[in-house]
Structure 1
Amino acid sequence: MGSSFQAKACIIPVSFSDHFPMELKFSEGLPKGMGGLKFLSMWWRDGEFLSNLEWWWKESNIFRGTPSFCFVKRMKFMKEKIKRWNRDCFKNISKEKSRIEEALLQINLDTILRGMTNDMFLREKALKEELVEVLLREEIFLRHKSRELWIKEGDANKKKIHASVKTKRDRNKIETVMHQNGKFNSSFEAIEEIAINNFKILLGNDNGVKNIQSAQMVDVIQHEISDEDNKYMLRPFSKEEVRKAVFDMHPNKAPDPAGITMECFQKCWGFMGDEIFKVVEDFRK
């Protein structure tokens, strides 16, 4: 293995058995530029998250400019607030799960040695309720990562979800690309450069040849839209049309550049709807 790989061994506590499985993890640092916010559905399990979003949205009303410019700036402001809240307030589900399982294991051991007391019983009950909530958040998180639309909340089929996450990750991963000279490149910088250059060639001018070909293609396409249809499509949007378009999208598909998914815009439409409509109108004009 290369020097960039890291290995970590840890014992997994189990409260219902005296056998402790060991997990060995190998990891490699992500290339530069691969980080960023990923809006997670499990955040909605926090009862104060929506009210926090509304407060942060009001706080972000400090920018001046076109509706599109202000909206982009406000979403970046929201992104930083969400990242800080997730780090400081919304606890890490893996660490919380380990903490609760270790506490339950300790109660189990104390019960064997000294017997169950009323305080221990109440403590165990509270921990099990916490564990149920953490497991539900973990399930929502894994389902979100897998992008499987048919999985419903409560299925808890982690083996299938983990397989879907791995398949999605492998499908979206580009490990090696071939340069025009026939050589293969696997470094992040080389892949980035080759991809950019490739699209420059595909979409570039090439001494006007592509522009001429595009014009010739447009000339042979028959006009199927009447003047009346064209006038209808160019009319101003209504706020209800914009709202319907937002709510017709899948909640967890195609996040915006800041990492915010449609689910956020749908749940926050009550206080963000006016600004979203202004952005659409600004784009149309």
Structure 2
Amino acid sequence: MGSSGGILVMWDKRWVSKLDFWVDRFSVSCVFSLEEDGFLWTFSGVYGHNDDDGRPLTWEDLICLIDLPLEGATFTWSSGRECPTLSRLDRFLLTGDWEMKFLNIIKAALARTTSDHIPLDLDCGGMRKRSSPFRFENMWLRTEGFMERVRSLWESYVVSGSPTFSLASKLRRLKEDLKKWSRDDFENLEWRKNRAFDEIANINRKEGEGSINEGLVQRRVECQVEIAEIALLEEISWRQKSKALWLREGDRNTKFFHRLANAHRRGNHIERITVDGELLSKEDDICKGVTSFFQNLFTKTKTWQPLLGGLHYSISDFDGVNLERHFSEEEVLRVEELQ
């Protein structure tokens, strides 16, 4: 493919299984089966001929496929100059069977940041996301004013009680305040990134309409810098989630960290489980089955009485309450008098 192009095919084993593959000079093809219903389909990544004589050979192989409308752009490649050369080089081409299988499929253009190609997204469904527990994020330390914020919050807490109780209470309140701050500020961070992507997309559209100027070119560069800064914070976050501590921050391995984190998530994922002899595979059934199993395990199902020398005995409810109640002041004073 040369030194600046190529094909990389990746897939998620939770959703599809690769049955076969073959590699030609300008394409890589894989036969997949959907885990959900066994639907068979073939993906082919094609890096077309870049010379006039070879291009007809590429289109002969693709002539019967469907080119869905592209949302958000009229081109996929730009020279990036003030008077740019524009072309639609990148496409998702589908068969009729695939289009019938995924009726609501959408092909959309994403914002182009550093590459001269616009990335394309073929959306035919997504994964459910669950909320995660509170964790200290290392990327917070890169946020301006974070240490001063923590110090101010800590000094604002007034708690009465023992030192241990005071420390635990202040830590609990600090955790809640940091959760709220992280939710507000880092949702805003995501909004900033999306806004920068939108600006780049708008500039790209104007570029396609021939109405770009030097100011818009400069603004696109500024948006790219802002996205890079936010990407660094995301890299730190994914590095922490991936637990790849042997790589230093700044290695620009966000995708690698993301892959490791997803691998950890897959390792913790329960795809199917047998509870009381029944195989469960649906998410709701697994949650109910596990909950029911441990409830039954730790619930007393019959009356149990201790034995002492073969003698049965029991404690009345009144005696049981008295054994667990706090000592009264009168009882304490009586013991002191006896001593």
TM-score, scaled relative to structure 2: 0.47
Match of 1:194 in 2: 293
Is 1:37 the equivalent of 2:134?
yes
Secondary structure of the equivalent of 1:26?
Answer: coil
Distance across 1 between alignment mates of 2:163 and 2:238: 35
Distance 1:8 1:124, change over 3 A: same
Is 1:66 the equivalent of 2:162?
yes
Is 1:148 the equivalent of 2:244?
yes
Shift of 1:198: 5.8
Match of 2:226 in 1: 130
Give the counterpart of 1:55 among 144, 148, 152.
152
Is 1:28 the equivalent of 2:128?
yes
Shift of 1:170: 1.8
Distance 1:88 1:162, change over 3 A: closer
Select the structure that is richer in helix. Answer: 1
Secondary structure of the equivalent of 1:114?
Answer: coil
CA contact (8 A) 1:93 1:137 kept: no
Is 1:84 the equivalent of 2:180?
yes
Secondary structure of the equivalent of 1:28?
Answer: coil
Is 1:14 the equivalent of 2:109?
no
Shift of 1:35: 4.3
Shift of 1:139: 1.0
Distance across 2 between alignment mates of 1:23 and 1:70: 53
TM-score, scaled relative to structure 1: 0.55
Structure 1: stretches of 5+ with no match in the other structure: 2-6, 209-285
Match of 1:170 in 2: 266
Give the alignment's Cα RMSD to 1 decimal: 3.6
Shift of 1:54: 1.0
Larger-Rg structure: 2
Match of 1:270 in 2: none
Shift of 1:178: 4.1
CA contact (8 A) 2:111 2:200 kept: no
Structure 2: stretches of 5+ with no match in the other structure: 1-35, 37-103, 308-339
Shift of 1:96: 3.2
Select the structure that is richer in strand. Answer: 2
Distance 1:8 1:150, change over 3 A: farther
Distance across 1 between alignment mates of 2:204 and 2:263: 38
Could you tell me the percent identity over the aligned residues? 24
Distance across 1 between alignment mates of 2:159 and 2:269: 37
Secondary structure of the equivalent of 1:14?
Answer: coil
Deviations 1:141-175 (A, max 9, x none): 21111111122212223443222112111222345
Distance 1:73 1:162, change over 3 A: same
Distance 1:163 1:154, change over 3 A: same
Q: Match of 1:53, as an amino acid? A: V
Q: Match of 1:102, as an amino acid? A: D
Deviations 1:114-143 (A, max 9, x none): 3433x4354334322212201111111211
CA contact (8 A) 1:8 1:26 kept: no
Distance across 2 between alignment mates of 1:93 and 1:207: 61
Q: Match of 2:142, as an amino acid? A: R
CA contact (8 A) 1:45 1:137 kept: yes
Q: Match of 1:13, as an amino acid? A: A
Distance across 2 between alignment mates of 1:77 and 1:143: 27
Distance across 1 between alignment mates of 2:120 and 2:193: 16
Secondary structure of the equivalent of 2:127?
Answer: strand
CA contact (8 A) 1:146 1:165 kept: yes
Shift of 1:94: 4.5
CA contact (8 A) 1:11 1:23 kept: no
